[in-house]
Structure 1
Amino acid sequence: MHPPRRHEPVFGEPWQGRAFALAILSSRIACGGVNTDAFRHALERLDRAAYLGDGYYGRWLNGAELMLTERSILAPGAVEARARNLRGEHVDEPPIPEPDRPHYAPTAEGSLRAVDTVPAFAVGESVRARNMSVPGHTRLPGYIRGHVGVVESRQPAAVLPDTNAHFLGENPQHVYSVRFDSRELWGADADPFALTVELYESYLETIS
């Protein structure tokens, strides 16, 4: 990649800027407010063609369409029908169902929140990433589950993506930067280096 050039356009092609704006607006409409976690969860559930075949901003459009369809704001097949009409095929659009927007209202802007509880882990403490299977969205990487690392620093508390993505509450928690040794994660033959991951408190457990 080349470094940014003076007066370089923000988007490589004009349609990408429109796609970006449509995805942001669609997310607000579908979620009743800004919910980055719900949008990420929509992207995770796209099939291979929708995720990879249409490029980065095409992926955003496909994710937005999924969210709008799930919330019954768009009817399944509505986008395809409109595209065919633009090509002059004259097809009927499917009827729009009754909207099913979630009862969601963020308590503040952004994802950072104040937490009254005392942090469960201290800087320098050895911790283990929980070896747990999450049925929906999570920010706990699979390759660190069950492995031991060291708390390097504590970050500001933030909304828990696992519940926020499903409109089950913000559930804010303390967040920790945890350093893992590459050989702990991938075995003794791995090249030696340190990997730091930001992890929510419920992703970690003490080492007895």
Structure 2
Amino acid sequence: MNSIHDMGGMHGFGPVKIEENEPVFHADWESRVYALVRTWYPWGRYRSWGSFRHNLEKIPPKDYLDMSYYERWFYVYEKKAIETGIVKRAELERGCADPDYLIPHLESHSDSWLGSRRLNEELPPKFSQGQAVKAKKINGSAHNRLPRYVRGKAGVIFSINGVYALQDTNEKDEQPCERPKNVYTVRFSSIELWGDDGNENDYVFIDAWESYLDFD
């Protein structure tokens, strides 16, 4: 999906500011949001909430830039909680639960969910180490994890990293099948990515599912 979240390679945002001795959470409410998301996540998967990342991508661009990291998390889960009946909007506005409202039973996610971990299986790789490849030009409103700035660019397979479940969604924010695919680390020259602004000694390494790549 092409949206403001895909900021890699974009200009105008200034340097990355490194905070010395940065705390895990900058405020108490951030830790509560984190706990809330971890608690709801399995049930959200079971109720087909769709990809968490895809829902982050659909935040309006101005709001996305104005929000902090955990504000985005809270925005997505507040929206999904209302849509799926965990809470009513009136409860959020009042700041207290409705004692007469029947909360849906929280069921765990399906055992068929493969998750994002490395899978204990092997598939014959389509590409080999050192092989020239080109990243596909993937656009549209569906979710994928191929950075926009490498699409259509040529690179070289640096390593083969094993099999993982593809995390893409369709336009309806559904993951109809988490197809196991080989994942590769691909090396891109900075000159290939940014032309004269690149440097012949600089490279960018991107992890990509096999379905994101073609032979060059």
Could you say which TM-score interval applies, normalised by the shorter chain? 0.7 to 0.9
* Structure 1 residue matching 2:126: 3-state secondary structure: coil
**2:157 touches 2:186 (CA, 8 Å); kept in 1?**
yes
Structure 1 counterpart of 2:70, one-letter code: Y
The whole-number CA distance in structure 2 between the counterparts of 1:40 and 1:105 is 21
What is the RMSD computed on CA atoms of the aligned residues? 3.3
Give the aligned partner of residue 186 of structure 1: 194
Matched, 1:198 2:211: no
- Of 45, 52, 57, the match for 1:31: 45
Matched, 1:61 2:61: no
Q: Structure 1 residue 29: deviation in Å?
A: 2.0
The whole-number CA distance in structure 1 between the counterparts of 2:197 and 2:93 is 55
Q: Structure 1 residue 24: deviation in Å?
A: 2.1
Q: Structure 1 residue 107: deviation in Å?
A: 4.4
Q: Structure 1 residue 64: deviation in Å?
A: 1.2
Q: Structure 1 residue 204: deviation in Å?
A: 0.5
Instruction: Pick the structure with more helix per residue.
Output: 1
Give the aligned partner of residue 60 of structure 2: 47
* Structure 1 residue matching 2:183: 3-state secondary structure: strand
Matches within 5 A, 1:9-158: 10-32=24-46, 38-48=51-61, 50-70=63-83, 72-74=84-86, 78-79=88-89, 81-86=90-95, 104-108=110-114, 110-158=116-164
Q: Structure 1 residue 185: deviation in Å?
A: 1.4
**1:163 touches 1:171 (CA, 8 Å); kept in 2?**
no
The whole-number CA distance in structure 2 between the counterparts of 1:65 and 1:50 is 15
Q: Percentage identity across aligned positions?
A: 31
CA displacement, residues 131-178 of structure 1 (integer Å, 9 cap, x when unaligned) = 232431100112111111000111121111114962312101100000
Give the aligned partner of residue 3 of structure 2: none
CA displacement, residues 57-108 of structure 1 (integer Å, 9 cap, x when unaligned) = 11111111233344x2247xx34x3343249xxxx9xx89999x9x844445
Stretch deviating more after TM superposition (9-18 or 149-158)? 9-18
**2:51 touches 2:169 (CA, 8 Å); kept in 1?**
no
Structure 1 counterpart of 2:30, one-letter code: Q
Structure 1 residues 105, 168: closer, same or farther in 2, change over 3 A?
farther
Q: Structure 1 residue 114: deviation in Å?
A: 3.4
Stretch deviating more after TM superposition (113-122 or 13-22)? 113-122
CA displacement, residues 25-53 of structure 1 (integer Å, 9 cap, x when unaligned) = 23222212999x81111111112354333
Normalising by structure 2, we get a TM-score of 0.73
The whole-number CA distance in structure 2 between the counterparts of 1:112 and 1:131 is 26
Normalising by structure 1, we get a TM-score of 0.76
Structure 1 residues 157, 183: closer, same or farther in 2, change over 3 A?
same
Q: Structure 1 residue 112: deviation in Å?
A: 1.5
Structure 1 residues 47, 132: closer, same or farther in 2, change over 3 A?
closer
